[in-house]
Amino acid sequence: MAVEKKAKRPRKSTTELRRLNEISMLDTARYFFDVAAERLELEDWVRKMLRFPKRKLIVNIPVQMDDGTIQNFEGFRVQYHPLLGPCKGGIRYHPDVTVEEVEALAVLMTWKCSVMNLPFVGAKGGIRCNPAEMSKVEIERMTRRYAAEIAPIIGPDQDIPAPDVYTGEREMAWIVDTISMHNHSFMPGLVTGKPKVLGGSEGREGATGRGGFYVAQETLKHLGMNFRDTNIVIQGFGNVGYHMAKYCFDQGAKITAVSDVNGGIHNSNGLDIPKLKQHLKDTGSVVGFADSERVENKDLLELDCDMLVPAALENQITEENADRIKAKMIIELANGPTTLEADRILYERGVFVAPDILANAGGVTVSYFEWVQDRAFYFWDAGTVDHMLKRYMTEAFQRVLGMHLDHGVEMRTAAYMVSVNRVAEAARVRGLYA
């Protein structure tokens, strides 16, 4: 195992520590930006510029509902300074969407794109609505009106939206159609996550899990281990958790526990992932799978294992349970699964954490490939997409690991340092006007 220099983060008062557990995703992103800026000794003007996004657009979306009434929905698009290239980020439909949440996600997307060396900065969009209570036609009218409202600030060279919570290929196709019709030309490079017939990419569905698998592979190499000798516990068995489980299982790893919203299952000899996927298809849950015992979701995180993979929700590893986590390494596939205080505890206990902005960046990386293919009108096969994904994930991991070892900072700070440094370099050569 490689010997690592350790630098302690400054200790905080207990009041401060309590506050850290309650802070929002935006505060967390700003906290790590500030830590990275301090370590990189960024100039004051660069810090001031990079700490905030460039633009927050709020639009009103009047929609005629199926019963003839008109309902107004509030929509958002937040964009970061386009220092490295166009903005990139999803659009979510949810009753709780706020401009603050969208801003936090846009900023996080910037650090994620930058750490991966993509020619993008972050953006995010959303509409405050409850799509579960709307008909398909109502969602289509709302989507097309939202697309028309944000049209002046999006485009293949400006800002490229993608699916997020409760949006998918269908919504992306409507957005491409609406803006292409306004411009009298077909513009597939306008969004990613489209149906393949409109220029969507091979390999997008499993990309985040596949990217996480490559980060896990590099982590194991760094720690002198391999998949065959590794026990893995995965929280969440959706798109990301399932694909991660499948790729690790195929390499001989033992997946000893997984969970979904209904609870967890455990077998210390390892679960058969293809059979478990079939069980999930048949029953709607992982719970009740043959040859497994039931485990509560909160206990699952504390099971004896080598690798823990949070792939469900944010704030799962906290000050409360961080001391009891037995894993040697954590591959963060969910966004923000570890609170700030838990992060500090894990670091002091020597747990290796592959942070979310690196570990779950496989999805945006394949989105980048989709945009590249759309711009060239030349489409890659699945093998080429996977080959390029492996290259991008491995190189990003090595950049972050290098920063971690050279500066004696934990992996999350190292990832932010790599990322912020690249954006800062662009700011320096472009200047404040950008």
| 208 part of the interface to ligand NAD, by CB under 6 A | yes
Dist. CA 373–CA 393, nearest whole Å? 19
32 sits in which H/E element: helix 25-40
Q: Least distance (Å) from ligand NAD to the CB of residue 318?
A: 14
Residue-level length of the chain: 434
Sole binder of ligand NAD in the list 312, 400, 411, 418 (CB under 6 A): 312
Sole binder of ligand NAD in the list 259, 292, 338, 373 (CB under 6 A): 259
Please name every residue paired with 307 in a beta bridge, in sequence order, or none if there are none: 232, 329
| 261 part of the interface to ligand NAD, by CB under 6 A | yes
Dist. CA 45–CA 37, nearest whole Å? 11
| 122 part of the interface to ligand NAD, by CB under 6 A | no
Q: Which is nearer to ligand NAD, 333 or 426 (CB)?
A: 333
Q: Least distance (Å) from ligand NAD to the CB of residue 264?
A: 7
Draw the binding track, 388-427, toward ligand NAD (x: CB under 6 A; -: no contact). ----------------------------------------
Q: Least distance (Å) from ligand NAD to the CB of residue 203?
A: 12
Q: Least distance (Å) from ligand NAD to the CB of residue 337?
A: 7
Sole binder of ligand NAD in the list 59, 153, 313, 405 (CB under 6 A): 313
Choose the catalytic residue: 124, 194, 246, 254. 124
Instruction: Clarify whether 221 is annotated catalytic.
Output: no
Q: Least distance (Å) from ligand NAD to the CB of residue 207?
A: 6
- Residues 292-311 touching ligand NAD, rule: CB under 6 A, are 297, 311
Taking the CA atoms of residue 268, residue 274, residue 276 and residue 280 in that order, the dihedral angle to the nearest 10 degrees is: 160
Q: Give the binding-site size for ligand NAD (rule: CB under 6 A).
A: 20
Instruction: State phi, psi for 239 to the nearest 5 degrees.
Output: -55, -50
Q: Which is nearer to ligand NAD, 1 or 132 (CB)?
A: 132
Please name every residue paired with 266 in a beta bridge, in sequence order, or none if there are none: 257, 293
Q: Candidates 35-43, 63-71, 255-263, 424-432 — which segment interacts with ligand NAD by CB under 6 A?
A: 255-263
Q: Measure CA of the first residue to CA of the last residue in the chain; give whole Å.
A: 44
Q: Least distance (Å) from ligand NAD to the CB of residue 160?
A: 15
| 360 part of the interface to ligand NAD, by CB under 6 A | yes
* Tokens 């900072």 sit on residue: 409
Sole binder of ligand NAD in the list 103, 159, 260, 374 (CB under 6 A): 260
3-class DSSP assignment, residue 309: strand
407 sits in which H/E element: helix 382-407
Q: Least distance (Å) from ligand NAD to the CB of residue 100?
A: 17
Is the sign of the CA dihedral 126, 131, 171, 381 positive or negative?
positive
Which residue sits closest to ligand NAD, CB atoms considered?
Answer: 238
Sole binder of ligand NAD in the list 363, 410, 411, 427 (CB under 6 A): 363
Dist. CA 96–CA 116, nearest whole Å? 30
Q: Candidates 71-79, 149-157, 174-182, 229-237 — which segment interacts with ligand NAD by CB under 6 A?
A: 229-237
Which long-range CB contacts under 8 A does 29-38 form with residues at least 24 apart? 29/104, 29/107, 29/108, 29/111, 30/107, 31/340, 32/111, 32/412, 32/413, 32/416, 33/107, 33/111, 33/416, 33/420, 35/9, 35/413, 35/416, 36/413, 36/416, 36/417, 36/419, 36/420, 36/421, 37/420
Between helix 99-115 and helix 25-40 the angle, nearest 10°, is 40
User: Which DSSP state fits 227?
Assistant: G
Active site residues: 124
Judged by the rule CB under 6 A, the positions of this chain that interact with ligand NAD are 208, 235-241, 259-261, 297, 311-313, 333-335, 360, 363
